[in-house]
Amino acid sequence: MSTYIIAEVGINHNGDIKLAKELINVAAQAGCDAVKFQKRTIDKVYSPEELDTPRKSPWGTTNRKQKEGLELGIEQYQELEKYSKGLGLDFIVSCWDIDSVNLIENNLSVDYHKIASALITDMHLLNAINSTEKKVILSTGMSSSAQVENAVSELDNLEYILACTSTYPTLPEDVNLLYVTGLRATYSQYKIGFSNHYSGLIACIGAVVLGAVCVEFHITKDRTMYGSDQAASIEDVNDMVNGIRKAELMRGTATKEILPSEMPVLEKLRKIH
């Protein structure tokens, strides 16, 4: 099975639709299958106290100004969806609140709803996504096995479950690639994948070798740009996609047999006594 590759633009566009399109172009040219964005209703996701907290950013000196600066309007999302699909990419959104689910559903035609790790225990949101009848991708970062099970049992149209560690960037010892095999054993009725926050290529490639059939990773033009996700993002998207596609070929099977390509070498070197 070909790995479904999701390039997450997320909020790395920094509120700039031109930059968002540049990143969509990067994903399309590299051969990704989909791009993913995020949508929040600021006053629903954050408390007034959180929004009033001082925070310096390119948009002002409060947390509210930073969050508002990063947020795209629905007309911009419509433009980005059309642009992405024109390049042959699926369009996916992670909605962080029910108002955003309704806004996206009423104005776009997303290919999947993605449930972010932070929202895996929000049953009201999960039920709102059920009501859309759209296919669902679930991330499992910062969650216990019981919380994953609760979310899986709640969702009606779940297709992919992604192994994930929610640190940005993730340390090598925290990636836990073997959780891909654990999910495959526990949830064989679903497609199992990997959501990456490691800053290099090896985690996604390793996940594919272990059987992940979906890989999601953040993309950026420059990891030193402003933004909380930039350091955990991938600049060399072409190398990432090429590595994943080669890993698919190298994965092979669990059986051992003599390959046709080995026959000339066998005939020349094999000794049988």
**Predicted pLDDT of residue 228:** 87
Position 175 scores a pLDDT of: 98
pLDDT at 77: 97
- Domains defined for the chain, CATH in brackets: 4-269 (3.20.20.70)
* Non-local CB neighbours of 87 within 8 Å, separated by 6+ positions: 24, 25, 28
**Structure confidence at residue 271 (pLDDT):** 87
pLDDT of residue 272: 82
Q: pTM of the entire structure?
A: 0.95
**For tokens 């969806």, what's the residue?**
81
Q: Residue-wise pLDDT tens for the chain (273 aa)? A: 799 999 999 999 999 999 999 999 999 999 999 999 999 999 999 999 999 999 999 999 999 999 999 999 999 999 999 999 999 999 999 999 999 999 999 999 999 999 999 999 999 999 999 999 999 999 999 999 999 999 999 999 999 999 999 999 999 999 999 999 999 999 999 999 999 999 999 999 999 999 999 999 999 999 998 988 889 999 999 999 999 999 999 999 989 999 999 999 999 999 887
Is residue 98 within 8 A of residue 75, CB to CB? The reply is: no
DSSP tag of 147: H
CA-closest candidate to residue 120, choices 82, 89, 86, 147: 147
230/163 Cα distance (integer angstroms): 20
Q: C-alpha angle 181/184/187, rounded to 5°?
A: 145
Identify the CA nearest to 218 among candidates 144, 167, 171, 146: 167
Q: What is d(CA 187, CA 167) in angstroms, rounded to the nearest whole number?
A: 24
Say how far apart CA 162 and CA 9 lie, in whole Å.
Answer: 17
- Residue at token pair 């051992």: 256
For residues 18 and 23, what is the distance between their CA atoms, to the nearest angstrom?
9
